[in-house]
């Protein structure tokens, strides 16, 4: 019964997020949402899927990551144009980005203090502030 537990937990996460649990979504969610916080690129997840003998294309991985992000299961972090990481930790926090190694490290949300933000334009409101501190 314990072998079905991770499958059941992932299935429930997808359903709770309003996503239909397709075979590909379930397989990728099992790789991503095992309870360990991590930062992954689409290419890294695609390699993990191939290593696990999961028949998914890179396009499917990208589509699924964006669906998970829209559903609130992941956060997308754009560190450079054309270079995004997907974060399984969706709580309030920020990041160090190691430019030389290309990896991210979490910073607790309360460790960064922003004294003042500009007023958003028009009738817009600030949804979230993401801080990425680049280090070498």
- DSSP β-bridge partners for residue 87: 39, 75
What span, in angstroms and rounded, lies between the C-alpha atoms of 29 and 68? Answer: 9
What span, in angstroms and rounded, lies between the C-alpha atoms of 77 and 99? Answer: 14
According to the annotation, is 92 in a ligand binding site? Answer: yes
Which two structure tokens, joined as six digits, stand for 96? Answer: 């160090």
- 78: burial class by Cβ within 10 Å (0-12, 13-18, 19+)? exposed
Distance from chain centroid for Cα 54: 20
**DSSP element (H, E) containing 69:** helix 58-70
Which region holds residue 31: left if phi is over 0, alpha if psi is between -120 and 50, else beta? alpha
Binding residues: 92
Binding residues for Fe cation: 92
């Amino acid at each position: 019964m314990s072998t079905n537990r991770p499958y059941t937990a992932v299935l429930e996460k997808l359903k709770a997020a309003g996503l239909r649990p397709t075979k590909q979504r379930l397989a990728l969610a099992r790789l991503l949402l095992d309870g360990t916080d991590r930062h992954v690129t689409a290419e890294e997840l695609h390699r993990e899927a191939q290593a696990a003998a999961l028949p998914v294309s890179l396009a499917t991985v990208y589509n699924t990551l964006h669906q998970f992000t829209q559903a609130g299961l992941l956060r997308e972090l754009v560190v450079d144009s054309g270079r995004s990481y997907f974060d399984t930790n969706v709580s309030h926090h920020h990041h160090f980005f190691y430019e030389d190694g290309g990896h991210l490290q979490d910073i607790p949300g309360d460790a960064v203090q922003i004294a003042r933000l500009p007023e958003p334009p028009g009738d817009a409101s600030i949804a979230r502030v993401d801080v990425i501190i680049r280090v070498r």
